[in-house]
């Protein structure tokens, strides 16, 4: 290892430590009349290696054991089988309800003053910097690879197409997915060029260093030139002198340089490094700010208007206060189908608001499935938050207009939208702004917790139970659903975020059937399991419902306008198009304690993760396009909650619903349970299934159910008869007299038991007699 490398690593870790302890933010002068905005305010997770960026985890202590491994399980045995095939019919509407609801939130009430003081200081730097012109789109990939050129580059993986703000490198150094443009030569003649393809008034440049865990490269100062033909170049000026702009002091912090008011209108812009870190080389990632202008020489200028959306929605970034206002406006516009409630508070005291949309808001209707979208688990992944705010506006508007697809969805589904699971993290990122927050600021909770790793690791509980049963040849304690939470996780001093606890309580109180967790920074849909069994960095680890999870992921990915585009380029360092833009979570990277795995193993709910965009925090100008990219996907994914089986499990004698009955589908080693009124939903692909239902105190029942391709689920009801023992308990509890049929049944059971015991005694005596004669 060279002396320069040792010094670079020493400086790197010194910087990381300083970021973990404190942060700063301010305006600094470049010394030449220009303004540079340097933003350094990382939270406890600023030092993000590529491994951390991809959500990998470390193996937990083996001393953390769970007493829930030996939790009792119900044996499912079939005593009666009916070969009647059900048909798909439209489910009847019913008003029978169970109390699965949270109290309504009054958004007319002001925000608590103490919370307001903690979260929002009144200093000017607490407001995000508003750009005069938006980004051209290097980070969002709106600027295509052919629009980027360079004077030279070291290799393909460090070519000009990699010089995009926040682009992330892979683990391996030297592959085709490196983390910056790097010049082949170290001199002041090197440049990175961007072709805007239209006359543009350039207003600024944002620079970063190289994303790498092996190298420490960034630009200290640089010049900027403009051109209309790439032949004649005009430098950015500071009075009568050529302007020199300040660059970076580290590899990750975005630094903004704004041009003076007489900025040049041109088509091309070049970034020309003048000095760089002494132990590094010329490497940079960039974004360019500019306002495109109409070309007076182009008679087809109308064809250049960018594709947006016809929907009249509020396309901007909403902080906590603005989010409250928007949600309040939706409930005022559609009071008959909306209900706002809070599932808890963040560490800083911000409420975690949920918008419920249903034709009977606040109630669980018998037979109506519960659906949820969760966004903002990582606070800086802001697109999901805005998409859910857009979605609630859109549903309200279209419902009032009589859009039959939306009307049907609202009347047949209870929809829950949580736009911000990590409101504290979002506020941190929002204060910096979409382009200056960097890759990590706001990802974690205020306490520094990554909530994507913060749920109870029930995978370990399940796999330990399977191993125990295998070694002892005893399946009586084997569990495959409703796995209890380990005791260590529920302790008061457990390192569990308040936000995570609130979501778990939410999951336990509402019988969700289907969910999606909206993230950002990639373009792919992942499905459980998210954790590998043997702690391999990545390995395909499917659930028993793998085929249906793949269907869910495909539904979203195939209808997303960007994911389904065969000509799109990879976001960072993975080409998910070779997997059709879906992948098993553990096969991408292992994640311990994910919400998806927890949801599948602890509740009835199936959950996937949707990575919505290459850009975690897209500029507000990108939001209309992102809405169009995802609108159909968001709607059609919700409709999948109606695929499979549904029904009500009742007592044959009383017709009362039976709660907590276990529904087993033959050949799928994952069961679900009925809820309070006896209704259940089992997500399945089309096909014919043997379904067995059992409940404590009842005889199991089995029947064949066929899932069709129609929009509506197959209704597969069950009526269970009580066991004689249960009937006896209930009669004796009431002090009643046994009916004759039960007396006869008990007599038969006693005789059978007597015969069996007599036979066993005689067998033992005969064996003893033979042994005695042999000796």
CA 255 to chain centre: 29
Sign, CA dihedral 449-451-454-460, equals negative
- Nearest-CA neighbor of 551 among 527, 574, 529, 530? 527
Contact (Cβ atoms closer than 8 angstroms) between residue 50 and residue 170: yes
SS3 label, residue 37? strand
Farthest CA pair distance, the chain: 122
Contact (Cβ atoms closer than 8 angstroms) between residue 160 and residue 193: yes
HSE at residue 254, side-chain half, CA atoms within 13 A, is 24
Contact (Cβ atoms closer than 8 angstroms) between residue 457 and residue 71: no
Radius of gyration of the chain (CA): 31
In a 10 Å sphere around its CB, with 0-12 CB exposed, 13-18 middle and 19+ buried, how is residue 384 labelled?
Answer: buried
Distance CA 720, CA 731 (A): 18
| Residue 398 falls in the annotated catalytic set | no
Distance CA 75, CA 210 (A): 57
HSE at residue 60, side-chain half, CA atoms within 13 A, is 21
172-519-682 Cα angle (round to 5):
115
Partners of 202 in beta bridges: 290
In a 10 Å sphere around its CB, with 0-12 CB exposed, 13-18 middle and 19+ buried, how is residue 364 labelled?
Answer: buried
Active-site residue (options: 611, 628, 632, 690): 611
In a 10 Å sphere around its CB, with 0-12 CB exposed, 13-18 middle and 19+ buried, how is residue 277 labelled?
Answer: buried
Element (H, E) at 390: helix 383-401
Other Cβ atoms within 10 Å of 466 Cβ, number: 16
H-type helices in 231-315, by residue range?
Answer: none
Structure tokens at 100: 């699965």
Place of tokens 């919505």: 612
383-401 vs 623-639: helix crossing angle, rounded to 10? 70
**What is the full DSSP assignment across 720-775?**
EPBPHHHHHHHHHHHT-PPPHHHHHHHHHHHHHHHHHHHHHHHHHHHHHHHHHHH-
Contact (Cβ atoms closer than 8 angstroms) between residue 538 and residue 588: yes
H-type helices in 603-671, by residue range?
Answer: 623-639
The terminus-to-terminus CA distance of the chain in angstroms comes to: 82
Distance CA 684, CA 704 (A): 14
- Helices vs strands, H then E, count in the chain: 16, 32
For 177-192, letters b (16+ CB in 10 Å) and e give bbbbbbbeeeeeebbb
- Torsion region of 535: left, alpha or beta (phi above 0 gives left; psi -120 to 50 gives alpha): left
Backbone angles phi, psi at 301, to 5 degrees: -60, -30
Backbone angles phi, psi at 53, to 5 degrees: -60, -30
SS3 label, residue 683? coil
Backbone angles phi, psi at 8, to 5 degrees: -60, -45
Question: Is the bond into 299 cis (omega within 30 degrees of 0)?
Answer: no
Contact (Cβ atoms closer than 8 angstroms) between residue 611 and residue 597: no
Structure tokens at 270: 């070049």
- Hey, which residues are catalytic here? 611
């Amino acid at each position: 290892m060279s002396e320069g490398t040792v010094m670079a690593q020493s400086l790197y870790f010194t910087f990381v430590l300083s970021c973990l302890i404190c942060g700063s933010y301010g305006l600094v002068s470049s010394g030449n009349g220009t303004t540079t905005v340097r933003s350094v305010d990382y939270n406890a997770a600023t030092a993000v290696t590529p491994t951390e960026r991809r959500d990998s985890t470390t193996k937990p202590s083996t001393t953390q054991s769970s007493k829930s491994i030996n939790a009792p399980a119900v044996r499912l045995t079939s005593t009666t089988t009916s070969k009647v095939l059900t048909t798909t019919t439209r489910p009847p509407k019913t008003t029978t309800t169970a109390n699965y609801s949270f109290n309504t939130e009054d958004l007319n009430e002001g925000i608590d003053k103490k919370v307001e003081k903690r979260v929002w200081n009144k200093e000017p730097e607490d407001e995000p910097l508003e750009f005069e012109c938006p980004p051209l789109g290097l980070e969002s990939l709106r600027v295509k690879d052919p629009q980027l050129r360079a004077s030279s580059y070291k290799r393909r993986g460090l070519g000009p197409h990699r010089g995009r703000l926040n682009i992330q490198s892979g683990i391996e150094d030297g592959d085709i997915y490196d983390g910056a443009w790097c010049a082949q030569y170290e001199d002041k003649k090197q440049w990175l060029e961007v072709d805007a393809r239209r006359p543009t008034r350039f207003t600024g440049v944002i620079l970063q260093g190289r994303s790498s865990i092996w190298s420490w490269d960034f630009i200290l100062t640089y010049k900027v030139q403009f051109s209309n033909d790439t032949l004649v170049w005009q430098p950015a000026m500071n009075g009568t002198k050529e302007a020199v702009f300040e660059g970076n002091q580290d590899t990750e912090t975005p630094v903004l340089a704004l041009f003076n008011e007489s900025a040049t209108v041109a088509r091309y812009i070049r970034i020309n490094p003048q000095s760089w870190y002494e132990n590094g080389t010329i490497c940079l990632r960039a974004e360019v700010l500019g306002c495109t202008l109409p070309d007076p020489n182009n008679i087809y200028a109308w064809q250049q208007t960018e594709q947006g959306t016809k929907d009249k929605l509020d396309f901007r970034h909403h902080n906590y206060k603005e989010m409250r206002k928007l949600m309040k406006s939706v409930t005022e516009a559609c009071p008959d189908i909306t209900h706002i409630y809070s599932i808890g508070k963040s560490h800083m005291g911000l409420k975690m608001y949920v918008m419920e949309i249903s034709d009977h808001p606040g109630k669980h209707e018998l037979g109506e499935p519960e659906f949820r979208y969760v966004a903002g688990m990582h606070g800086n992944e802001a697109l999901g938050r805005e998409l859910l705010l857009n979605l609630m506006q859109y549903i309200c508007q279209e419902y009032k207009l009589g859009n039959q697809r939306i009307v049907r969805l609202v009347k047949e589904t209870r929809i829950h939208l949580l736009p911000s699971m990590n409101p504290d993290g979002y506020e941190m990122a929002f204060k910096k702004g979409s382009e200056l927050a960097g890759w990590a600021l706001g990802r974690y909770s205020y306490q520094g917790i990554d909530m994507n790793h913060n749920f109870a690791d029930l995978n370990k509980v399940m796999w330990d139970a399977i191993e125990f049963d295998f070694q002892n040849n005893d399946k009586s304690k084997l569990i495959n659903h409703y796995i209890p939470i380990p005791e260590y996780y529920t302790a008061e001093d457990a390192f569990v975020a308040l936000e995570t606890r609130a979501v778990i309580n939410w999951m336990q109180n509402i019988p969700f059937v289907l969910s999606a967790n909206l993230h950002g920074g990639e373009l792919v849909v992942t499905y459980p399991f998210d954790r590998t069994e043997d702690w391999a960095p990545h390995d395909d680890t499917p659930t028993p419902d793998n085929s249906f999870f793949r269907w869910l992921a495909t539904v979203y990915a195939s209808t997303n306008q960007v994911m389904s585009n065969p000509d799109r380029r990879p976001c960072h360092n993975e080409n998910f198009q070779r997997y059709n833009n879906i992948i098993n979570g553990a096969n991408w990277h292992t994640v311990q304690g994910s919400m998806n795995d927890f949801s599948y193993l602890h509740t009835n709910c199936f959950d996937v993760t949707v990575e919505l965009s290459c850009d975690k925090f897209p500029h507000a100008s990108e939001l209309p396009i992102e809405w169009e990219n995802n609108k159909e996907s968001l709607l059609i994914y919700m409709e999948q909650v109606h695929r499979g089986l549904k029904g009500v499990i009742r007592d044959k004698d009383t017709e009362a619903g039976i709660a907590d009955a276990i529904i087993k589908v033959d050949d799928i080693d994952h069961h679900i349970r009925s809820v309070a009124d006896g209704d259940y939903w089992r997500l399945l692909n089309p096909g014919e299934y043997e379904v067995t239902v059992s409940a404590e105190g009842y005889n199991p029942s089995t029947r064949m159910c066929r899932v069709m391709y129609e929009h509506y689920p197959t209704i597969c009801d069950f009526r269970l008869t009580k066991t004689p023992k249960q009937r006896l308990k209930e009669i004796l509890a009431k002090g009643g007299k046994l009916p004759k049929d039960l007396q006869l049944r008990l007599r038969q059971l006693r005789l059978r038991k007597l015969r069996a015991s007599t036979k066993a005694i005689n067998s033992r005596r005969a064996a003893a007699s033979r042994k005695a004669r042999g000796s």
